[in-house]
């Protein structure tokens, strides 16, 4: 069902909704069509950063658990359940569940799916790649992270795409220094991706994150100057989450209004960290240690 005759993905069957214990606090948008407007800025106190780090650690540990389960024969719904269970066991809420009506605790984006793939009965095959994106909400703050996993052995061009997408994210993160504009992050990522002829997705971006899942601050992954000229300052928290493709940067949206694929069905990878900017660089807030 989930792959057509050409090996391209088609919508599958969604599992029964997962539940979250009543004693775990929900973010304010759950049950609403859209989140309440965010009025704060994108910088945080050390106490608040500690809370984002705690949420980010839970999301990262959940990705560790999901990654350990990735194998041929596993469904994306099974991966979602593993991530969900890890987040909930840590006392946190999986931020995507009920966000603007999104039905699952993670996004699982396979092969040509750029982002926001909904976990379903898609059975992963040797050679596929799957991005899993998990955000945890704990004590009023979100930590947002994703990784792309290889399913068994993948072809060399796909292997390199995954490797270089991670490298692109890290280069973008290292470019985030006080006194620069956020578009420097996109310039660095775009320049690196261009070396390999990769497409860089423009219309889905990094974002401010903290007490709100998406604060309104946009972090571009391509050279967008003079747009996105927000000044980077110490204490600022945002994600860097480039999506690179083996083909075009153009995309299509499925009828579910969530699943984004490359227009040419080329393979695409993504990595994401939440970071805080420091006087002399950055700190990753979505790590397991
Ligand atoms: N975690 C995604 C991000 O990096 C957002 C997913 S929103 C959802 O911004 F509703 F699609 F889950
Ligand atoms: Co994000
Ligand atoms: Co994310």
CATH class (in words) of the domain with range 46-284: alpha beta
Q: Is 144 assigned a ligand-binding role in the annotation?
A: yes
Residues of the chain where predicted confidence (pLDDT) is lower than 70: 1
pLDDT at residue 1, rounded to an integer: 58
Taking the CA of residue 258 as reference, the ligand 1 atom at the shortest distance is: 11
Helix (H, G, I), strand (E, B) or coil at 102: coil
Taking the CA of residue 134 as reference, the ligand 1 atom at the shortest distance is: 1
Q: Which ligand is nearest to the CA of 115?
A: 1
**pLDDT single digits (tens) 186-226:** 999 999 999 999 999 999 999 999 999 999 999 999 999 99
Gap between the Cα atoms of 168 and 116, Å rounded: 20
Hey, whose CA ends up nearest to atom 8 of ligand 1?
A: 96
CA 5 to ligand 3 center in whole angstroms: 31
Task: Check if the beta carbon of residue 149 is closer than 8 Å to that of residue 127.
Answer: no
pLDDT at residue 2, rounded to an integer: 85
Taking the CA of residue 209 as reference, the ligand 1 atom at the shortest distance is: 9
Hey, whose CA ends up nearest to atom 12 of ligand 1?
A: 96
Q: Is 221 assigned a ligand-binding role in the annotation?
A: no
pTM confidence score: 0.98
Q: Is 100 in the pocket of ligand 1 (CB under 6 A)?
A: yes
Q: Is 80 in the pocket of ligand 1 (CB under 6 A)?
A: no
Task: Check if the beta carbon of residue 122 is closer than 8 Å to that of residue 76.
Answer: yes
Q: Which ligand is nearest to the CA of 208?
A: 2
**pLDDT single digits (tens) 226-249:** 999 999 999 999 999 999 999 999
Q: CA distances (Å), 6 to each of 2, 10, 11, 245, in order?
A: 11, 11, 14, 19
From 55, 60, 83, 116, mutation site for ligand 1 pocket: most ligand atoms within 8 A of C-beta: 116
Gap between the Cα atoms of 94 and 85, Å rounded: 9
């Amino acid at each position: 069902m989930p792959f057509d005759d050409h090996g391209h993905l088609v919508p599958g069957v969604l599992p029964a909704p997962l539940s979250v214990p009543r004693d775990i606090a929900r973010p304010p948008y759950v049950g609403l069509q859209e989140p309440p407007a965010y009025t704060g800025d994108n910088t945080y106190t050390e106490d608040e950063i500690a809370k984002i780090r705690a949420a980010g650690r839970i999301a990262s540990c959940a990705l560790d658990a999901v990654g350990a389960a990735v194998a041929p024969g596993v469904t994306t719904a099974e991966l979602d359940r593993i991530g969900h269970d890890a987040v909930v066991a840590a006392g946190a809420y999986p931020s995507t569940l009920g966000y603007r009506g999104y039905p699952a605790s993670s996004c699982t984006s396979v092969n040509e799916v750029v982002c926001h793939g909904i976990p379903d009965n898609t059975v992963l095959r040797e050679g596929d790649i799957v991005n899993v994106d998990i955000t945890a909400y704990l004590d009023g703050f979100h930590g947002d992270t994703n990784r792309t996993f290889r399913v068994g052995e993948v072809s060399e061009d796909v292997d390199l795409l995954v490797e270089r997408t991670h490298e692109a994210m890290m280069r973008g993160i290292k470019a985030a220094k006080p006194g620069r504009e956020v578009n420097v992050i996109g310039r660095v990522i775009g320049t690196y991706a261009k070396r390999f002829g990769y497409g860089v997705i423009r219309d889905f971006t990094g974002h401010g994150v903290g007490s709100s899942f998406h604060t309104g601050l946009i972090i571009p992954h391509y050279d967008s100057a003079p747009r996105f000229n927000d000044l980077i300052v110490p204490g600022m928290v945002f994600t860097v989450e480039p999506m690179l493709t083996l083909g075009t940067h153009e995309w299509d949206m499925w009828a579910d209004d969530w699943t984004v694929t490359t227009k040419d069905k080329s393979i695409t990878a993504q990595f994401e960290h939440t970071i805080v900017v420091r006087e002399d660089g950055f700190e990753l807030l979505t790590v397991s240690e």
